Structure 1
Amino acid sequence: MGTDQPSTQAGGSPAPEAGSGSQKAGPGRRALRAAATPSRAGRNLPAAIIVGLALLVAVLVGLFFLPDAFVVLVSVFALIGVWEVARALTLKSIFVPQVPLYAGALAMPLAAYYGGPEALAFALVASAVAIMVYKCLDRAQDAVRSIMSGVFILCWVPLFISFALLLLDEDNGALKVMTMLLLVVSNDTFGYLVGVLFGKHPMAPKISPKKSWEGFAGSVGGAVVVGILCSVFILDLQWWFGLVLAIATVAASSAGDLAESMVKRELGIKDMSNILPGHGGVMDRLDSIVFAAPVAYVLAVLLAPGAI
C-alpha cells in the first residue's frame, strides 16, 4: 500500500474479477466514502451502549452455555472482518479474490475449534493456495499485489481470531477466553483513563496521536491487577501466570490497535465500516483481540500447566 491519498474512484465492495482499472462511482462507493468520513457529531453513545451490551451477552452466553454458537459467532466476525478489510483496500485499487478469501474466513475458525492447530494450519495453507490459483486463472493485472493482500487479510483476521477458539478448546477454555477478554478491556479502559488524565508524551504520533506512554503505563498497571486476580480466583493458577499474561496481552493489544490505526491512516479512513452503530466496524472492535488471542493461547499452552 502506498502513501498517496485515496482515489475518488475507489470504494465499494470489491468485484471478484476486477483488476486495477477505474470504475464508475456507485451506491457502494458512496457508502464506503461515508463510512470513511469522520462524523462531526462523534459517536452515537446510546447506540454504542446497546450494541456493546448485546455483543457482551452473546459472547458470555456462547462461551459458557452454547460453545458451538460461540464458534459460529467468531466465524461470522471473521467473515465480516475480512469483508471490511477487502472493501477498504479498494480505496487503493487493490481487489482481492473474494470466493477463496471468504471461504477461508469461514473454514479457519471451524477448523481451529473442531480440528485443532493442525487443521487450522492446513486451512490457512489451503486458503492461500486457493487465492493464488484463483488469481492466476483470473489473469487480471496486479496479480501479485492482489495475492499478497489476500494472504495478508487471511493472516490478520481469520487466522489470528481462530486462536481464541484454540484457547476455548483447552482445559477451562471458557474461563481462559474470558480472562483474555477482560485483559483486553482493562487495557483499553485503564489506558484511556490514565491517558486522558496524565497523557503528555505521544506513543506513536504519526499513527495514533491520542495514545501516550502514560496511558500505556496505565494499561499495564491496570491489566496486571486484573490478570493476577483472574489467575488466582478464576483460573486457580499461580499469581505469576496472571502477571505474565497481563503484560503480554497489553503489549499484543497495543500492537493490534496501532496496526489497525496504521492501516486506516494509510487508507485515509476513520472506521473500517459502520456496521456496528456507535462502534464503527467489526475490525474496529477486534483490532486488539486478534493480536491478543494468539499470545494468550501460546502462554496458556506453555505456562499454564506449570502454574497449577
Structure 2
Amino acid sequence: MADRADRMEGHGSELWQRIIVAVPALVVAVFLIDYGGVPFTVLLILLGIACLHELFQMFDDVGPVRLAGFLGIIGMLLATYFGSDRGTYYLVIALCACFPLIFLFGALQVRTTALGWSVTVFGLVWIGIALGHAVLLRELEHGVAAIVTILAGVFIGDSVAYSGGKAFGRTPLAPRISPNKTVEGLILGMAGAVLATWLAGLYQDWITGVDALLLGVCVAVAAPLGDLFESYIKRQVGTKDTGRLFGAHGGALDRLDAVLFAAVVGYYVWIAIL
C-alpha cells in the first residue's frame, strides 16, 4: 500500500509539472493558430527545426546532414504556405529539392555517411510533410477550429491515456516498443480523444455530431500510432526522452509525436467533411 501511495504521489507531482509547462505553451499556440499567416508558419518552422535537431542528436553517430535538414524544412513549410491552394504540390516539390541539397551539403561535411543522409531524408518526410499538412489545414475553411479540435483530441487523449494507464494499467500494449504503455491506457486515451473532439464539435455549427465523431475516431487512432512510432525510434537508440524543451513533457518530438500523425489524417478528414 505504501509503495502504491508513493507512486500515486509521484504521479501527481509529475502531472502538475506537465500542467505548468503545458498551459502557457497552449496559450501561445492557440494565439498563433488563430492569428495564422506567417507567424503561425514560423512557429511550425521553429518546432520543426527543434524536432529535427532532436532526431539528428539521436543518430549523431551516423552524421546526419543537419544544415540541409534545417534549410529543407524551412523551404518546405514556406513553399507550402505561399503555394496558395496548390500547397500540397509545392510541399512535394520542395521535398524533392531537398535531395540535391542533402547531397551537396553532405559531400562538404567532414563526418557523414550514407545512413546519415538517409536519416536526414527520413526526418524531412516524417516531420516536414506532417507540419506542411498543418499549414495546409490552417488555410482551409474553418481551419482554426479544425486544428484546435484536433489538438484537443490529441492532448486530452494523451493525458487520459497517461493518467488512466498509471491508475488502471495492467496489460502491456507493446512491451518491445514502449514497456510503460498499457492496453487499458490506450483504450481510455482513445475514448478521451473521441469525447474531446465530439464535445469541441458541439460548439461549431459547421460540423455535425457524426462528422465530429468521425474526426475524433480518426484522431484517436492516428495519435497513438504516432506515439508508438516515435517510441520505437527511441527504443532503437536507447533513449527515454528526446530532449527537455518542454520540461516534464520531454522534447519537441516527445510532445508532437502524436500530432505529426494526427495532422496529416486530420487534414484529409477535414477536406472530406467540408
Normalized against structure 1, the TM-score is what? Answer: 0.78
- Secondary structure of the residue aligned to 1:187 is helix
Whether 2:63 is the aligned partner of 1:95: answer: yes
Residues 43, 279 of structure 1: 8 Å contact kept: no
Q: Which residue of 1 aligns with 2:266?
A: 296
Q: Which residue of 2 aligns with 1:29?
A: none
**1:43 positional shift:** 8.0
Name the CA distance, whole Å, in 2 between partners of 1:212 and 1:45: 18
**1:142 positional shift:** 6.4
- Secondary structure of the residue aligned to 1:211 is strand
Residues 172, 235 of structure 1: 8 Å contact kept: no
- After superposition, residues 38-187 of structure 1 pair within 5 angstroms as 48-90=18-60, 93-115=61-83, 116-135=87-106, 137-138=107-108, 143-187=113-157
For structure 2, the 5+ residue unaligned runs are 1-9
Residues 36, 138 of structure 2: 8 Å contact kept: no
**1:243 positional shift:** 1.6
Name the CA distance, whole Å, in 1 between partners of 2:191 and 2:36: 33
- Would you tell me which structure has more helix in proportion to its own residues? 2
RMSD: 2.4
Q: Which amino acid counterpart does residue 152 of structure 1 have in structure 2?
A: F
CA-to-aligned-CA distance 1:173-213 (integer Å, 9 cap, x gap): 11100001001012112222332333222110111112122
**1:139 positional shift:** 8.2
Which of the residues 248, 252, 259 maps onto 1:282? 252
Residues 176, 235 of structure 1: 8 Å contact kept: no
Name the CA distance, whole Å, in 1 between partners of 2:154 and 2:69: 27
Q: Which amino acid counterpart does residue 133 of structure 2 have in structure 1?
A: F
CA-to-aligned-CA distance 1:199-240 (integer Å, 9 cap, x gap): 222110111112122222112222222222223422621222
Name the CA distance, whole Å, in 1 between partners of 2:267 and 2:222: 12
Moved over 6 A (4+): 40-46, 139-142
Identity %: 29
Which of the residues 214, 237, 260 maps onto 2:184? 214
CA-to-aligned-CA distance 1:69-89 (integer Å, 9 cap, x gap): 221111100011111111111
Q: 1:50 to 1:41 in 2, by over 3 A?
A: closer
- Secondary structure of the residue aligned to 2:245 is coil
Whether 2:234 is the aligned partner of 1:264: answer: yes
**1:41 positional shift:** 12
Residues 245, 296 of structure 1: 8 Å contact kept: yes
Q: 1:43 to 1:196 in 2, by over 3 A?
A: closer
Name the CA distance, whole Å, in 2 between partners of 1:128 and 1:105: 12
**Stretch deviating more after TM superposition (140-149 or 56-65):** 140-149
Normalized against structure 2, the TM-score is what? Answer: 0.87
For structure 1, the 5+ residue unaligned runs are 1-39
The count of aligned residue pairs is: 262
Residues 191, 220 of structure 2: 8 Å contact kept: no
Q: Which residue of 2 aligns with 1:10?
A: none
Name the CA distance, whole Å, in 2 between partners of 1:43 and 1:97: 39
Residues 162, 185 of structure 2: 8 Å contact kept: yes
Q: 1:62 to 1:185 in 2, by over 3 A?
A: same
